[in-house]
Chain A
Amino acid sequence: MSSEPTQPPAVDVSHLRAGYNGQPVLDDVTFTVEKGCLAGLVGPNGSGKSTLIRVIMGLMKPWSGGVEVSGTAVKAGRTSIGYAPQSELVDWSFPVTVQDVVLMGRYGKIGLIRRPGPEDRDIALRSLERVGLAEFSQRRVGELSGGQQRRVLIARALAQEADLILLDEPLAGLDAAAQHDLLRLLEDLRKEERTLFVATHDLSCVASDFDHAVLLNKRVVAFGRPKDVFTADLLSETFERHLLVLPGGERTLVGP
């Protein structure tokens, strides 16, 4: 983690309140994520993870409080935030190729009416190479495996040339090998000074591989390095039930 005093954090959320139809989902949420780190967002179902991501993306107006990304307030249309939505929210039957989906990452920069040019195709292809899917560029996206589909969404975020990438449950539903490959990709991307903010249910994975964790349950229970915040007390407070923490030498295991 490089955190020079002059550099604003990648994500700076302060006293954020937000919700739907008068029902608060996030209450007084405050935390920061430093630049160039792999950060996990963990919390039980309904804890507001997806809502928080929507607010950071600028898709939802907070009731009060603020979100700054790299020192500037968010609003929709910021193309420097990449986003890989939950896989279930993507229409995989849509007739688009892998390349089509990745090119969509360029659309925000191209401007109305204009078509993607050679440079955009070049960036899209390089993003696909980066996630190891260049040979699949002309495949229909629905034909790929679950792990490959997550990579397509990450490639789209890379094509946006985003410094901050938000990922919503990228590990869910993948087998162990695909999870491992995806985690390695995330770690590689972090080394390239990108910030990755990952909503996930996989606590063990955050404990062993992530730099930073935000424990969320409508409010922020704790944030910091996983080894500091993954204590039995804080986790139980977050998940409102007792969780077993097994601190190993190399890996910390967390389970019910």
Chain B
Amino acid sequence: MTEIIDTLREPWTFEFMQRALIVAVIIGVVSAVVGSFVILKGMAFIGDALPHASFGGVAIAFVIGANLQLGAAVAAILVALAIGFIGKRGTVRYDTAIGIMFIAGFALGILIVSREEGYVVDLFSFVFGNVLSVSWTDVWITAGLGAFVLTIVALFYKELLFTAYDPSMAAASGLPVNAAQYGLLILIAITVVLALQVMGIVLVLAMLVAPPATAQLLTRRLPAMMGLGAVFGVLAAVSGLYVAWYADVSASASIVLTATAMFALAFLFSPSTGLLRKTQWAQDIPTDGAMQEPSSGAAGDR
């Protein structure tokens, strides 16, 4: 018994692993909440484009000696706003606009890096992620920005929900649809930049997509989807770090593969939509929802 406990505790006796755990857990939660909107609105391509495009900002920050994280943030937010603006103009398709920004930002990064031989190690930690090297400053920044993102989602949940679900009706009702849409893009950009240091450019998308997609298979309402997605995000972060510690493999890759494994399980075994349960469950549905407390419906709403 104590052996098991020792095995479970061992990684966290090291301070760099404690920092990694805190940062990975925060990112698991924030990515799942923001990622719920990403997958419901089919914005996964944006989730992939922003980290790539932000590489340009990282490279510029590197050259002028500014904070790399800040460079990534500025680039990601600018690109997010540009995507929103081009998309709203309607002259080119949304995914075309994303594709152009995606490549331009990333190519700019490569161009700059190709001139800076010798010091590219720092930059490549952005590409593949390096959760084991985060500093306490990184931890505080992640916690602060993560709390900011979650607070904004909580405060403007109603506006974000209505705009995501039915933008025309939301606009007709007088809701600030433009602000909500641009706001969501900025929230995605901030989340992407937070996740960048842990996951790396190539794997950020996994944290935005896999945990909420897993939760979507198991829940029926958006708040539950966000909550359960956050739980899955945290589980993936913790178990991924264990795998990384004991198998001596990449932390970000372990976290991503854990999250994908969870999705695969839910896809196969979800009680309502699972591949292996579908026929069996279909007969139970008609009596299910209608019977449960029709009068006190307001209880669980947020």
Question: Which residues in A have some Cβ–Cβ distance to B below 8 Å?
Answer: 54, 57-59, 76-79, 81, 83, 85, 89-91, 94-97, 99-101, 103-105, 107-108, 110, 112-116, 118, 121, 125, 134-140, 143, 156, 160
Contact = CB atoms under 8 A, between A and B. Distances in A.
Contact of A118 (B155, B294, B298): B298
Given A112-B159, A138-B292, 12 more contacts: A83-B168, A91-B40, A96-B221, A96-B222, A100-B222, A104-B161, A108-B172, A116-B158, A118-B298, A138-B297, A140-B220, A156-B169
A59 B178 CA distance: 13
29 contacts: A57-B172, A76-B174, A78-B172, A79-B174, A81-B172, A90-B166, A91-B165, A94-B40, A96-B161, A99-B301, A100-B221, A104-B162, A104-B165, A105-B173, A107-B158, A107-B175, A108-B175, A110-B158, A112-B176, A115-B158, A125-B297, A136-B289, A138-B292, A138-B294, A138-B297, A139-B290, A140-B220, A156-B169, A160-B173
A95 B216 contact: yes
Contacts of A125: 297-298
Interface residues of B, number: 36
B301 A103 contact: yes
Interface string B211-237: 000001001111011000000000000
Contacts of A140: 220-221, 289
Interface of B: 40, 155-156, 158-159, 161-162, 164-166, 168-176, 216, 219-222, 224-225, 285, 289-290, 292-294, 297-298, 301-302
Nearest to B174: A77
A228 B172 CA distance: 34
B59 to A, nearest CB: 38
Which of B158, B164, B172, B285 has the most chain A CB within a 10 Å cutoff?
Answer: B172
Nearest to B167: A59
A135 B294 contact: yes
Contacts of A113: 155-156, 158
Contacts of B175: 107-108
Contacts of A78: 172, 174
Given A78-B174, A79-B173, A85 B220 contact: no
Closest 6 CB pairs of A and B: A77-B174, A108-B173, A139-B289, A137-B297, A140-B220, A121-B298
Contacts of A114: 158
A190 to B, nearest CB: 22
A76 B170 CA distance: 10
A68 B272 CA distance: 48
Contact of B169 (A85, A97, A112, A134): A85
A94 B219 CA distance: 11
Nearest to A93: B40
A95 B174 contact: no
B165 A94 contact: yes
Nearest to B294: A135
A125 B299 CA distance: 13
A49 to B, nearest CB: 15
A165 to B, nearest CB: 12
Interface of B, secondary structure class, is: helix
Contacts of B219: 95
B301 A116 contact: yes
A107 B220 contact: no
Among A58, A91, A118: residue with most chain B CB under 10 A: A91
A54 B168 CA distance: 9
A100 B166 CA distance: 12
Contacts of A90: 166
Contact of B168 (A77, A85, A143): A85
A139 B164 CA distance: 20
A138 B174 contact: no
Nearest to B290: A135
A85 B166 CA distance: 10
Contacts of B155: 113
B172 A58 contact: yes
A108 to B, nearest CB: 3
A221 B59 CA distance: 63
A95 B220 contact: yes
A114 B155 CA distance: 8
Nearest to A104: B162
Contacts of B222: 94-96, 100
A77 to B, nearest CB: 3
Contact of A96 (B165, B169, B293, B298): B165
A190 B121 CA distance: 71
Nearest to B285: A143
A134 B294 contact: yes
B164 to A, nearest CB: 8
Contacts of A85: 166, 168-169
Given A95-B40, A96-B221, A107 B170 contact: yes
